[in-house]
Amino acid sequence: MKTLAKKLRQQATDAERMLWKYLRAHRMAGYKFRRQVVIEPYIVDFVCLEARLIVEADGGQHLEQVEDDLKRSVFLESLGYTVIRFWNHEILGDIHTVLERIHGSLIEVPSPQPSPGGRGGKV
């Protein structure tokens, strides 16, 4: 599964690349997102483990797999994740609304702040 996840990262869609530009490097309210992450038995597009938030970018093929996507979301939610989905055309055509929705899902969780002594107590 890790090999497939790596391949998916290398073959990202235009929508995934655009969204990643805004989510990477703690750019979304200080939260760390990862892309194409294995959460057995699935690979999710983007995940913030700290906020337990999964963001999926869906292309046209998802029109034919609505039941599978629902089953997948229910499973991931049973693990404590919140799953939000966007169509690729939403990401490409209105990225600011997409980012607002993601941010809205994150603000329910306190913003990550480093401890006064830094990570792991090291100064």
- Which pLDDT score, from 0 to 100, does residue 114 have? 52
* Structural domains for the chain: 2-110 (3.40.960.10)
Q: Residue 94 corresponds to which amino acid?
A: D
Alpha carbon distance 70, 65 (integer Å) = 9
- Which pLDDT score, from 0 to 100, does residue 2 have? 81
pTM (two decimals): 0.82
- Which pLDDT score, from 0 to 100, does residue 30 have? 94
Q: What is the mean pLDDT of each run of 10 residues along the chain (123 residues)?
A: 82 94 94 96 96 91 75 96 96 97 84 48 36
- Which pLDDT score, from 0 to 100, does residue 61 have? 64
- Which pLDDT score, from 0 to 100, does residue 8 have? 83
Q: How would you classify the pairing of strands 34-39 and 82-87?
A: unpaired
- Which pLDDT score, from 0 to 100, does residue 9 have? 82
Alpha carbon distance 122, 57 (integer Å) = 38
